[in-house]
Chains A and B, each alone.
Chain A
């Protein structure tokens, strides 16, 4: 029973596993060696995978909210692609988290079965965008930071994290270029578009310090050669942002400059500790709505 194309195979085949793309998933790490590297603490590694996975999942959901709202069809396609890349990263990272911490929770358990206080994403990923200028400013900072992070993570002693990072670097390079080019276009457009990007940068500025504030988990993994230290990423992120903003005659964000919303850098505050903004509850209401209405549903 040969099929000329997969579309025909899907259309003609009655196997309900295959009624549409993206259904009938097996775990995204099926067949990948799940062993932990020597000396790695599974709980710590799992907690770290959860942080990076939640950053990607939550940012992806915020980007998806732009679909049908973007200024042009091309930008909608771009945002959907970026969201899909991040969702792919989230699926692998959440799956790895459930393997490494020994709980056996799968990607769906983690994405749809946790309360807000159990999510470990940074605030930058969860806040809503006031407008397209706000989105571009946030996407530029997020993708610049995540690209630097994944670039450092390529050297991780955990082969699964290193592999996810190596692949993610290629994807994030496109995301960062996209955001940087749009920032220049808005900054050099009309007075109105420039005002929007200036406001967007001001809105994300208070959220930047959290990106470089390490938790004990990150410090431990960094010392064990499993992850880059968050603080080590600051120089590259600052340099890239300055490189983008300089030709636009914009001032790079000055983290810590009089921002009331700034998470207090400390041992128990911020998204990495499960403390979130009000925007997170609204986001999870939507993200988890189907799973809450139909617990255990499969399709």
Chain B
């Protein structure tokens, strides 16, 4: 009996992220691979940050959803290379973030050869307010409620909002 990998991938990818539940693992770009080992499904996921405390929950949720869909005993593997980039968040994921009031990330800085450049000015200038659409925003805290977010404030409508960091 062959494993319906397309179906397994769809199920695994549809699991919501524990900390950004408006996004699925597919939206977030952390579902890396779905393969078969005999009749068992092997799912590879990658952490956004190494200390991400939600990773174990994601793995358990994936295994549960697959079991409920008829794929018993699925194995979840963690892969750490290549490292996750916020560029992997899909277009659908970015729309869902903005609809939930969280500014999606801009393009991640490209890793150039040589020492990592130092940034002495705070924040990006291309972050758009998800509430009113103004580009007149300012970084208020470089670290936010979860490892993958920081906090901005809109100067036009005065609303504070979360923004997914570019990494």
Contact surface of A with B, Cβ cutoff 8 Å = 1-7, 9-10, 17-18, 21-26, 28-32, 74, 77-78, 80-82, 84-89, 91-92, 147-148, 151, 159, 162-164, 166-174, 176-178, 180-181, 184, 236, 239-240, 243-244, 247
What residues of chain A lie closer than 8 Å to B17, measured between beta carbons?
Answer: 6
- The listed residue with most A CB atoms (<10 A of its CB), out of B78, B79, B142, is B142
Q: Pick the contact of A88 from B51, B64, B167 — CB < 8 Å?
A: B51
A88 to B17 CA separation, bound complex (whole angstroms): 19
Distance (Å) between the CB of B121 and the closest chain A CB?
8
**Could you say which of B92-100, B111-119, B128-136 contacts chain A?**
B111-119
Chain B contact-residue range equals 35 or more
Contact surface of B with A, Cβ cutoff 8 Å = 16-18, 21, 44, 47, 49-54, 56-61, 64-65, 68, 75-84, 111, 115-116, 118-120, 122, 140-145, 147, 151, 165, 167
Q: Pick the contact of B118 from A31, A89, A180 — CB < 8 Å?
A: A180
Q: Is the interface of A mostly helix, strand, loop or mixed?
A: helix
A285 to B59 CA separation, bound complex (whole angstroms): 33
Contact across chains for B56 and A26 when beta carbons are under 8 A apart: yes
Q: Pick the contact of A164 from B80, B84, B120 — CB < 8 Å?
A: B80
> When A5-B21, A7-B18, A148-B115 are in contact, do A31 and B122 touch as well, CB less than 8 Å?
no
- The listed residue with most A CB atoms (<10 A of its CB), out of B53, B56, B118, is B118
A31 to B42 CA separation, bound complex (whole angstroms): 10
> When A26-B56, A178-B143 are in contact, do A32 and B116 touch as well, CB less than 8 Å?
no
> When A166-B83, A236-B115 are in contact, do A21 and B143 touch as well, CB less than 8 Å?
no
